[in-house]
Amino acid sequence: EPEVTQTPSHQVTQMGQEVILRCVPISNHLYFYWYRQILGQKVEFLVSFYNNEISEKSEIFDDQFSVERPDGSNFTLKIRSTKLEDSAMYFCASSEFLAGSTDTQYFGPGTRLTVL
């Protein structure tokens, strides 16, 4: 069964460093998402992406964050200058475009980001 994959599974970085989290969505999916979950808290939406553009972003997704689909298979989340409070699990999700219907979002296993 197709699945969303994410790398790395765990990333440790120093405060102020740039990190790139990578995701490979399910191959025929066209909508991509990033969510995050701070330890012990709810899963929070960050951004959605379609047709090489951000379609929606939350207030969490400030100028330090960016997303990109650099090729036909990868979808990345970049944090330009990490802060301690960026420590969280980051989940990528993707969904298929169904004309006249809706999607179901499928999630990857997550990347645990630890900022020291």
Partner 1 sequence: DAKTTQPPSMDCAEGRAANLPCNHSTISGNEYVYWYRQIHSQGPQYIIHGLKNNETNEMASLIITEDRKSSTLILPHATLRDTAVYYCIVRVMSNDYKLSFGAGTTVTVRA
The site for partner 1 (CB under 8 A) is made up of 4, 31, 33, 35, 37, 42-45, 48, 50, 55-56, 58, 89, 91, 93, 95, 97-98, 101-110
Cβ 16 to partner 1, closest distance in Å? 26
Identify which of residues 45 and 74 has a Cβ nearer to partner 1 in the complex: 45
Residue 65 C-beta: closest distance to partner 1, Å: 15
Cα–Cα nearest to 33, from 106, 115, 116, 113:
106
Long-range contacts of 68-75 (CB under 8 A, 24+ apart): 69/32, 73/24, 73/25, 73/27, 74/22, 74/23, 74/24, 75/22, 75/23, 75/24, 75/25, 75/32, 75/49
Q: Are 93 and 4 in contact (CB under 8 A)?
A: yes
- Closest distance between partner 1 and the C-beta of residue 59, in Å? 13
- Nearer to partner 1 by Cβ, of 14 and 102: the residue is 102
Measured from the CB atom, the residue of 49 and 79 that comes closer to partner 1 is 49
**Cβ distance 76 to 20 under 8 Å?**
yes
